[in-house]
Amino acid sequence: MDLKSVLGRESVALHLKGKSKEEIIDELLAVAGRSGKVSDLGGARKAVLERERRMSTGMKNGIAIPHGKTDTVKDLVACIGVSDTAVDFEALDRQPCRIFIMTLSPADKTGPHLQFLAEVSLLFRSDEKRAAILAAESPEEVLGVLTQ
């Protein structure tokens, strides 16, 4: 999957302000909403929080990938946010997170969602890429790291 087909400048937010999992999710939903592809942010929020209640999407190495399947989108919608401060996301390694990647996908389309998650998870195994994203000063820099 070509990440450039899913992520653009408007889908990147630096300096997230949220101090809790829910606040971060709300900020990311606002970013996803800028795409114009989310018909109901409240419905999307419900799907993401429901998924989060089943099992935290905090991964390892300071990364969380909150996501949800929802009828509020027709195709995969994704965004990335970076926080200046670490947030407890109940990650697998018990470490707080600073890099957040949200995906929303239609309930009846699994392929693109799984492809995107697989592509992103490969990228974040790299200490260098994570450090470059944390140091990025613009959405373009973040996208450059993700797509190189």
pTM: 0.92
Rounded CA separation 23/128 (Å): 27
Q: Is 90 left (phi over 0), alpha (psi -120 to 50) or beta?
A: left
- What does the pLDDT average to over 33-60? 93
Residue 2: what pLDDT? 67
Residue 7: what pLDDT? 87
- For 3-147, the fitting CATH number among 3.40.930.10, 3.40.50.300, 3.30.1310.10, 3.40.50.620 is 3.40.930.10
Q: pLDDT class for 113, splitting at 50, 70, 90?
A: confident
Distances (CA, A) of 51 to 4, 58, 76, 128: 26, 12, 16, 30
Q: pLDDT class for 1, splitting at 50, 70, 90?
A: low
Greater confidence (11 vs 147) lies with: 11
